[in-house]
Structures are given as C-alpha cells and as structure tokens.
Amino acid sequence: MTNSDFKIRVIADVTCDIEGSIPATKKPSTIVDPIYDYNPKTDSVEAPLSNPDYVTVMAVDNLPCELPRSASEEFGRDLIDKIIPALVISDKDGVIKRASITKAGKLTDPFLYLTDYASGN
C-alpha cells in the first residue's frame, strides 16, 4: 500500500478480517461510525477523511445485520398498513382470501397443487 502505483483510496472490507487479507483493516468500524482512515506510511488508524493520502476503510463487522433490520421495518409497515386493515375492517381486495392456504381444514383452490405434499407423498 506504500507503493506509488497503489491508487486505491477507499476500501469496503465486508469480511472485516482484522490483520487479514487487507492490511488496512486494523479494527472493526460501526454502523454509527462506519469509516476510518488508514495511514499506510505509519501503519496506523487515523480520523476518517483526514488526509487525501490515507486509505479510507469501511469494515463494519455486523453489516449483514442492517439488511434484516430494514427488511423487518418494511415488512412491519406493510403489515400495519395493508394486512391488519384487511383482517379487521374489510378484505375488499381479497388479500386474506388469496393468502389463505387452508380453510376449514382443507386446501383452498389456489393451493390444491400442494395436495400430494400435504398428504405426505
């Protein structure tokens, strides 16, 4: 990274492998503070975006957790805005009917293709 041919200025290390394959990954960053700078000349961590000669590193070790959080929030909003009114007020669009796999202990028409599977075949 100290070679004059090295031009990379930003690295997103999704492995967050400290002291691993990417020498600039010296510590994990966080969702709140996702980046830090790496000084290749001194092999040290510096404040983010503090010098154009440093390499900015994003190494959030729990980054994969962020997708499920946003997906859960979106799913929750859809439940509140679309499903609960269909259950409580009116299912005028047939959302609940279309999503119901069984009724009175039998497969509904759209799910009859599951008959063999449901009977263990």
Q: Taking the mean position of all CA atoms in its chain, how far away is CA 72? A: 10
Same domain, 2 and 57: yes
Hey, what are 62's tokens?
């729990």
The angle subtended at Cα 17 by Cα 16 and Cα 20, nearest 5°, is 140
Same domain, 50 and 95: no
Q: Does the pTM of the predicted model rise above 0.75?
A: no
Query: Domain residues for 25?
Result: 1-61
Q: What is the count of structural domains for the chain?
A: 2
Lowest mean pLDDT segment, chosen from 27-36, 56-65, 93-102: 56-65
| Whole-number pLDDT of residue 70 | 79
Same domain, 74 and 54: no
Same domain, 32 and 74: no
Same domain, 3 and 47: yes
Lowest mean pLDDT segment, chosen from 47-51, 53-57, 59-63: 59-63
Same domain, 77 and 91: yes
Give dist(CA 69, CA 31) in Å, integer: 12
